[in-house]
Amino acid sequence: MFAMVILLLPFAENKIIPIGHSHSISLFDGCFLLVSLVWAAVLVKTRTIFNPIQNNKKFLLFLGVGGALTLNNAVSIGFDFSPSMVNPLILASGLIFAAASFAILLDPNRDLPKSAYRYSTLMAMFFWAVLIWVRTIQYSHYRKVTLYHTLTFPFIDSRQTALFIALATLVGISCALITKRKSLIYFLLPVATLSIAQTGARSVMFLFILAWAGFLAAMSVLEYFRTRSLPPELSTLLLSTLLSAFLLLVTLDPNGMRSLSLFQHSLMSILTGEADPYRGDCWRSLLYYYFFGTDEEFGRLRNSPFFTAPHNTYLEYLVKFGVSSVILLVLFLGTLIGFNTTALLKNKNSSWMPLHAATLMGLLMIAGLLYAYPIFQVRFLWVFFGFTGAVLSLDPSDNRSLPGPKIIPTDAV
């Protein structure tokens, strides 16, 4: 049943169930909450829930910081059903999804890398079919639905689609290396690259390319310092990268060109918003009015599009909740990023090392995209947080009977 619910992830933002006068949840929300409640009842009945809580203090710290962030924001605006993406209700429900995903995925009887690989491969096949459909369909009414031949389905926004593909690909390729199915990397990466390009999401494509480069660098550097040689998988990864670049250039269309357009700008112009005039004007106005503006000027700003859609989560938290909220937000993301970095370095000798590298790059992608786009309302983001916590908890260097490679201590040889 959980597998069926997970398959609904791409449709989470489209299948809506109305509850009350002005609020709604997705079909995935309802199914996932139902499954997680049943799972929690089973864990409580069998008393197996206490061991995961006791043995996984890292993820509990992440949830604790998230709870503090939620309460801090609630003090400022209160809990309500407004559609704002910084609404504390979104954070609170997201934390529930992260905790439920963590509890469900933390199953000693499940081979997590194999399950993640199968899911990522299935999603790649799904988006390959959608990509062919979007690129070949000629009916004008469908072109309008897909925003003039961009790939948005099954999400409501092309950046959500692109981020989902990027995260699934990073996890899928790392698990392909762990499960020794390297040949399908030649399928996973090209499909992901072409699909992200077809969304036209500039920020996601820019971050995905940087994350992929970081993934290759992390694997190469750690393996080189361990064995004084490059990893044998590097040739497969580099060839699949070249194949992806070749297919992207051959099939490049206006959407693909747009997705690569950020590479025409310097990193400083991207960070300051000069690469996008709207974002640049928006960020400068918000910063000025927050630190130097009068109450009258700030009142006018609250009614402007800049205040309602700043396209920068960090800046949005600063303006609406203050410095304390931004600090808690950075700590919230920093806990998982820090724990993943530590796990990557600690498990550099383990065959699970690619998965730690992939989850770390995925978290850095999320942190970077929050700088350009508010995404906390997207459910698969919280499921990814829960998945990351499960990966940390199923650390093969732990002396517990869990699936995955085991490391033999050197003093026992």
Of 35-49, 262-276, 355-369, give the lowest mean pLDDT range: 35-49
CA distance 115 to 356: 16
CA distance 218 to 227: 14
Instruction: Report the half-sphere exposure of 54 (CA within 13 A, side-chain side).
Output: 5
pLDDT at site 1:
47
Q: What is the secondary structure of 10-27 as a DSSP string? A: GGTTTSEEE-SSS-EEEH
SS3 track for 103-117:
HHHCCCCCCHHHHHH
Q: What is the DSSP letter of 406?
A: -
User: Which structure tokens are listed for 23?
Assistant: 């609020």
CA distance 358 to 354: 6
**Contact predicate 63/389, CB 8 Å:** no
Closest C-alpha among 287, 308, 309, 290 to residue 298: 290
Closest C-alpha among 89, 122, 168 to residue 362: 168
Give the percent of the chain with pLDDT over 70. 71
pLDDT at site 59:
83
Of 257-266, 300-309, 329-338, give the lowest mean pLDDT range: 300-309
Report pTM: 0.83
Q: Is the pLDDT of residue 192 over 80?
A: yes
pLDDT at site 148:
46
Q: CB neighbours of 4 closer than 8 A, spacing ≥ 6?
A: 31
Which residues are registered as beta bridge partners of 18? 24
Tokens 């959407």 sit on residue? 255
For the chain, the C-alpha Rg in angstroms (whole number) is 22
pLDDT at site 401:
34
Banded model confidence at residue 284, pLDDT cuts 50, 70, 90: confident
Q: Is the pLDDT of residue 308 over 80?
A: no
The string of pLDDT tens digits covering residues 346-393 is 888 888 889 999 999 999 999 999 988 888 878 888 889 989 988 887
The string of pLDDT tens digits covering residues 159-185 is 888 999 999 999 999 999 988 888 889
Q: Is the pLDDT of residue 15 over 50?
A: yes
CA distance 192 to 128: 8
Task: Pick 316 or 87 by higher pLDDT.
Answer: 316
Q: Is the pLDDT of residue 43 over 80?
A: no
**Residue at 306: amino acid letter:** F
